[in-house]
Structure 1
Amino acid sequence: MVSPGILLVDKPAGLTSHDVVARTRRAFGTRKVGHAGTLDPMATGLLVIGIEGATRLLTYIVGADKTYTATIRLGATTTTDDAEGETVATAAPSAWDAVTDGAIADGIRALTGTISQVPSSVSAIKVDGRRAYDRVRAGEEVVLASREVTVSRFDLIARRDADANIDLDVVVDCSSGTYIRSLARDLGAALGVGGHLTALRRTHVGDFDVADAVSVDSLDGAVPASPAAAAVRVLPRLDVTAEEARDLRHGKRLSGAAARVDGALAAAIDDDGDLVGIVEKRGADLKSAMNMPESAA
Structure 2
Amino acid sequence: MSPKERGDVAGVLVLDKPKGPTSHDVVGKLRRALGMRRIGHAGTLDPMASGVLVMLLGEATKLGPYLTAHDKAYEARVVLGRGTNTLDAEGEVTAEAPLPAWLTEEITQVTQGRAGTKITQALDLERARTEQAPPAFSAIKVQGAKSYDRARRGEAVELAARPVAVRSIELRGAGILEPERLVFLDVSLDVSKGYYVRSLARDLGLALTVPAHLGALRRTQSGPFGLDAAKALGAPAEELRAAVLPLAAAVRLALPVAVLTAEGVVRASQGKRLGAAHFSEPPPPPRPDEPSEGEESGTSAWLSPEGRLVAVGKWDHDGYVVQRGFTDVSVDREVESEMHVVSGRRFPP
Candidates 117, 123, 130, aligned match of 1:102:
117
Decide which moves more: 60-69 or 105-114.
Answer: 105-114
Q: 1:208 maps to which residue?
A: 225
Q: CA deviation at 1:195?
A: 1.1
Q: Of residues 291, 295, 305 in structure 2, which corresponds to 1:271?
A: 305
Q: Which amino acid aligns with 1:47?
A: L
Q: Percent identity?
A: 39
Alpha-carbon distance change, 245 to 219 in structure 1, aligned in 2, over 3 angstroms: farther
Compare the two structures and name the one with the higher strand fraction: 1
SS at match of 2:47: coil
Contact 2:9-2:329 at 8 Å conserved across structures: no
Letter in 2 for 1:253: R
Deviations 1:216-259 (A, max 9, x none): 10151213111111112121111122221111111222223589
Matches for 1:63-212 after TM superposition, within 5 Å: 63-92=69-98, 95-98=100-103, 100=106, 101-161=116-176, 164-212=181-229
Provide structure 1 residue ranges, at least 5 long, that are not aligned to the other structure.
none
In the other structure, the counterpart of 1:38 is 44
- How many residues are matched? 296
Matched, 1:254 2:288: no
**For residues 50 and 176 of structure 1, what CA distance do their matches in structure 2 show?**
18
CA-to-aligned-CA distance 1:31-66 (integer Å, 9 cap, x gap)? 211111110000001111111111001111001100
Q: Which has the larger radius of gyration?
A: 2
Question: Is 2:253 the partner of 1:233?
Answer: yes
Judged with a 3 Å threshold, the aligned counterparts in structure 2 of structure 1 residues 274 and 96 are, in CA distance, closer, same or farther, namely farther
- Mapped to 2, the partners of 1:205 and 1:24 lie a distance apart of 19
Alignment of 1:61 with 2:67, yes or no, is yes
Amino acid at match of 1:17: S
Secondary structure at 2:263 match in 1: helix
Contact 1:184 1:196 in 2 (8 A): yes
Cα deviation 1:182-221 (Å, max 9, x = unaligned): 1111101111112111100111111111221111101512
**1:37–1:48 contact (8 Å) kept in structure 2:** yes
Tell me whether 200-209 or 271-280 shows the greater mean CA deviation: 271-280
Q: Are the counterparts in 1 of residues 259 and 282 from structure 2 also a CA contact under 8 Å?
A: no
Deviations 1:76-106 (A, max 9, x none): 111111111122212235x232453111110
Following TM superposition, by how much is the alpha carbon of 1:161 offset from its aligned partner in structure 2, in angstroms? 4.2
Gaps of at least 5 residues in structure 2 are 107-115, 287-297, 332-349
Q: How many angstroms apart in 1 are the aligned matches of 2:269 and 2:310?
A: 7
AA at the equivalent of 1:106: Q
Deviates more, 1:168-177 or 1:153-162: 153-162
Q: Which amino acid aligns with 1:240?
A: L
Question: Secondary structure of the equivalent of 1:141?
Answer: coil
